[in-house]
Amino acid sequence: MNQTIPKKPLYIAGSTKEAASYKELRSPHSGEVIAEVAIGTREDVKAAIDHAEEAARTMAKLPAHKRAAILQKVSLLLNERKEEAARILALEAAKPITVARGEIARTVETYQFAADEARRLHGETIPMDASAMGENRIAYTVRQPLGIVGAITPFNFPFNLVAHKLGPAFAAGNAVILKPADQTPLSSYFIADLFAEAGLPAGALQVIPGPGSEVGDEMVIDDRVKMITFTGSPEVGKTIRSKAGLKRVVLELGSNSGLIIDEGFDIDRIIKRTVTGAFTFMGQVCISLQRIYVHQSMYDKFVEKFVAETKNLRIGDPLDETTDIAALISQKDVERIASWVKEAESLGASVLTGGTDNNVVKPTVIVNVPSHAKVSCQETFAPVVVISPFDTLDEAIDAVNDSRYGLQAGIYTENIERALHAAERLDVGGVMINDFPTFRVDQMPYGGVKESGVGREGIKYATEEMTEMKLVCFNRNK
């Protein structure tokens, strides 16, 4: 790179602070150094919490319309600089530029939803006289901010998943300490600048990159942090929950999304959409389509058409407008997937298309995969999909449920009774009928069961998670 490499210090109390050490941030696509990023420490987190305490008191006093105005302003500012933001995504995450633009458009809307929730947040009146003991009493609830929220975010949606932490937290009147993913901190610095420009009180948002064992752990164990909201692996999520004590936690963890294509469905209508669900952003999506179960009467035709459409995907530079598939987030993940595919082959599976090329995993379609193979039972987080036939709907539902995860699942069917049967039996947080499980809009409740996590995101639901309900009761019998 010819230009000067930017240096990104810590962002504490509304201004930058030099860190004791920095590390090189490299593009997953080119391997070039794109920034030098601060490495935060436990002491940095403690200092940030000190500042956040005062900022939390300020935020709690900020009227709802002013919190909404700040969030609205960030939405407008991001929309004005959307192309710049998309290029940051393509650079630090190797997200194809067309997909990156889609994420930024969603993020603009997510902050708008948060602004709306700041205005809508309310309690309710309680019918006290429903009990004889409650006669002559008036009661109502209010929702108050928790105080300081610790947010730990992943690399795959570094703008929009950060918005799902910051938006609800600020709508509710909290302060936030943000630990971005190691590979994607630049987007967090970018959004922090927008919040400062929008008038967020100093210290209400602080950005501290660094190792989870230092930065994340200190947020989890410090009692002044009242909630941890985390998106990442089940293993880390379990550790957070074990250390968090009585503080509130919302954990969005792993997934292994399955799709059922029922007998008689017109598969020509959904080939392109299912390919999109499996391979968008190289499968590095929490609800990426990983397992497809097709009725045996249509199985061969579906596989043939799915593979043909997959081969149309173009591999290239993430900044190229025609690129569908770019580098995976790390070479370690490329090697992991190669070993998992090799294991599946050793167990009798057939790879119909795929392979690796330096830092790229080519879109991979595998059939005849045993359910205990890693590409089937674990979360690949890569452009790999397994296609299997089934005879009965309950057999397919059981196959989808045979997973340690339960985030979202989908079914395509022309039969409403079979759709409702699947919706009832699928053991997941969200069932998409006549759509793939990769579908999400940012106002809907989002979360899973089993090892997919606890709590719900979606702006309204997350805002409520980030408040404490207080009851106020008047006794009119003086």
What CATH number corresponds to the domain at position 15? 3.40.605.10
* Structure confidence at residue 3 as a pLDDT band (50, 70, 90): low
**Closest by CA position to 384, among listed 409, 349, 419:** 349
**pLDDT at residue 2 is higher than 50:** no
Instruction: For residue 152, tell me if it sits in a domain.
Output: yes
**Closest by CA position to 113, among listed 452, 445, 377, 373:** 445
Are 270 and 123 found together in one domain? no
CATH classification at residue 372: 3.40.309.10
Are 240 and 291 found together in one domain? no
Are 235 and 309 found together in one domain? no
Instruction: For residue 446, tell me if it sits in a domain.
Output: no
- The helix-helix angle for 64-80 and 97-120 (nearest 10°) equals 170
Q: Which domain holds residue 362?
A: 258-433
Are 91 and 149 found together in one domain? yes
**pLDDT at residue 390 is higher than 60:** yes
Are 404 and 266 found together in one domain? yes
pLDDT of residue 4: 87
**Residues sharing a CB contact under 8 Å with residue 66, sequence separation 6 or more, in sequence order:** none
Angstrom distances, CA of residue 125 to CA of 3, 471, 477 = 60, 9, 19
Instruction: For residue 442, tell me if it sits in a domain.
Output: no
Are 271 and 164 found together in one domain? no
Are 174 and 309 found together in one domain? no
Dist CA 384 CA 376 (whole Å): 10
Instruction: For residue 444, tell me if it sits in a domain.
Output: no
Give 418-474 pLDDT, tens digit per residue.
999 999 999 999 999 999 999 999 999 999 999 999 999 999 999 999 999 999 999
Q: Give the distance, in angstroms, between the CA of residue 77 and the centroid of all CA atoms in the same chain.
A: 22
pLDDT average, residue stretch 54-79? 98
* Structure confidence at residue 1 as a pLDDT band (50, 70, 90): very low
CB contact at 8 A, 438 and 287: yes
The total number of structural domains in the chain stands at 2
The catalytic site residues sit at 252, 286
Identify the helix (H) or strand (E) that includes residue 176. strand 175-179
* Four-CA torsion 27, 31, 34, 38, nearest 10 degrees: 90
